[in-house]
Structure 1
Amino acid sequence: MSYKIPESVLVVIHTPDLQVLLLERADRPGFWQSVTGSLDAVDEPLAGTAAREVAEETGIVASEHVLTDWHHTIEYEIYPQWRHRYAPGVTRNTEHWFGLCVARPLEPKLAPREHLQWQWLPWEQAAERCFSRSNAEAVRQLAWRVAPCGAA
């Protein structure tokens, strides 16, 4: 078994009018989140990780929309139920935040091993729905972080 790299991305997928796509975790029903995922290799570019994770989890092709690196990084303690995925003794993860603006709500093609269902919500409701405090904070920051996006 190879261990996950304790460095990841969080991608808030949103529309220009600040509707946010949330996904329900398959391994934790009732836990709603944005797209997240770890680097596949220590030298994988962060934007590449963000685009790959969006495609894997939703089928959305980031290059067809506006992917923005928010240049915001947080470090958090890995939830105990997921620590077995990391090397022994690894308890913290560094997460980099991105936004992906799509022109309108899209119907994602979920990776069934990762997510059960999806929903688009206004940003305020999406922030309330996120199980992770950091994900909720990223969604709350959306309004002032959003760059103009006229995605096709």
Structure 2
Amino acid sequence: MNTLTVYRLGRVEYEDGLQLMKVFGEARRQGLCGDVLLLLEHPPVLTLGRAAKRFNIVASDERLASEGVETFETDRGGDVTYHGPGQLVGYPIFLLPEGRQDVRRYVRDVEQCVIRTLAEYGITSGTIPKWPGVWIGQEDSPDARKIAAIGVHLARWLTSHGFALNVNTHLPHFNLIVPCGISEAGVTSLQKELGHAVPMPEVEEKIARHFADVFGLQRAEPAPLTSTVCVTLVRGTGPEARVLLLRRRPERGGFWQIVTGRLEAGEQPREAAARELFEETGLRTDVVDLEYRHAFAVGSVVPPRLVEENGFAARCSGDFEVRLGDEHDAYEWVDVPTALARLPFRGLREGVQRSIRALGG
């Protein structure tokens, strides 16, 4: 029996999710891991499938920016859909065996996993032939409403993308689009149907169990995620605010970053952030917890190493002199737009933006 490893990743920036699918897909193709199910939440984002029509995004660019919603084009099937906090996104990275190499059967099986999960909450759901996804209500009913979107991609029977189940999702964000190009019906969530919020870990466990059952897979325990911190150091305020960037030594990648590092044994994230800040800059000061935690894959190693990072911010005086640690060979104080342009990873850029807001810069 093939194995299924389920990773519960929490928040994942959308572009990091694309990278996760890529590196896990390569690992699965090479036989370096079994089948994988990535369970996560994205920040607010609109994704356009291969069949997407741009006019199904009904909000202006200005409205999207004010709502903090990004847009991405993808290689999955389908039209425009929305991802955001409170929505459980599942990316099955499966190499379908010979007996299951049927696209329609695969889509039906993914739908069935969602349908069985909803049934555990007393919700009867199903499919509507002319519309993709999982629905509550009948095709011709005026109250037909979608609770889960399905959009998959298969390449030589290796699967990616998957489903998005509305659990505690902010449903007004669906007004920014015509969901999946369907204007005749609405959307709903577990929270709306039940009248109360539903614990996400509970839903994750149920859907993971159904994926193992439906696809005939044996659950395997995932390796623990590596815990790290990032710290944005800021001096000045308003237009004069400057962010400290550190350049890694060539043998460590040679790219610019903010302060980053791993937790040591027994450390709490705040302790690690303060320690890393001192070791990499020479500054001893309090750090501000940004309450920003996200997961990503480190580099393009196969199989990938998964990291959960906690974001922090700190402020220093204008006359503070940086003392570089061993990991870096240069530093610069730059304005925020320059920092965002230089930082290569979405999570670091998000950390900078949150830090400026948190510190009133």
Q: Find the residue that maps to 1:80 and give its secondary structure.
A: coil
Query: Bigger relative contact order, structure 1 or 2, given CA contacts below 8 A and separation 6+?
Result: 1
Corresponding residue for residue 119 of structure 1: 332
1:53 and 2:292 equivalent?
Answer: no
Write out per-residue CA displacement over residues 34-63 of structure 1, whole angstroms, 9 at most, x where no aligned residue: 00001011x31111100110111111112x
Q: Find the residue that maps to 1:95 and give its secondary structure.
A: strand
TM-score, normalised to structure 1's length?
A: 0.78
1:134–1:105 Cα change, 3 Å: farther
Corresponding residue for residue 108 of structure 1: 322
RMSD: 2.0
Describe how 1:84-99 pairs up with structure 2 within 5 A: 91-99=305-313
Contact 1:73 1:96 in 2 (8 A): yes
CA–CA separation in structure 1 for the residues paired with 2:288 and 2:344: 23
1:125–1:105 Cα change, 3 Å: farther
Judging by fraction of residues, say which structure has more helix.
2
Q: Find the residue that maps to 2:253 and give its secondary structure.
A: coil
Q: For structure 1, which runs of at least 5 residues remain unmatched after alignment?
A: 84-88
Write out per-residue CA displacement over residues 99-131 of structure 1, whole angstroms, 9 at most, x where no aligned residue: 0011226221111x3001000011111111112
Corresponding residue for residue 258 of structure 2: 34
1:142–1:124 Cα change, 3 Å: farther
TM-score, normalised to structure 2's length?
A: 0.34
Percent of pairs identical after alignment? Answer: 28
2:293 aligned to which of 73, 81, 89: 73
Corresponding residue for residue 22 of structure 1: 245
> Which aligned runs of 4 or more in structure 1 are off by greater than 4 angstroms?
none
Write out per-residue CA displacement over residues 53-98 of structure 1, whole angstroms, 9 at most, x where no aligned residue: 0111111112xxx4201111011111136x8xxxxx6621000000
CA–CA separation in structure 2 for the residues paired with 1:52 and 1:143: 21
1:131 and 2:344 equivalent?
Answer: yes
1:15, distance to aligned residue in structure 2 (A): 1.6
CA–CA separation in structure 1 for the residues paired with 2:350 and 2:319: 21
CA–CA separation in structure 1 for the residues paired with 2:311 and 2:242: 17
2:267 aligned to which of 39, 44, 56: 44
CA–CA separation in structure 2 for the residues paired with 1:32 and 1:60: 19
The number of residue pairs the alignment matches comes to: 132
Contact 1:78 1:93 in 2 (8 A): yes
CA–CA separation in structure 2 for the residues paired with 1:143 and 1:98: 11
Contact 2:297 2:304 in 1 (8 A): no
Q: Find the residue that maps to 1:141 and give its secondary structure.
A: helix
CA–CA separation in structure 2 for the residues paired with 1:53 and 1:143: 20
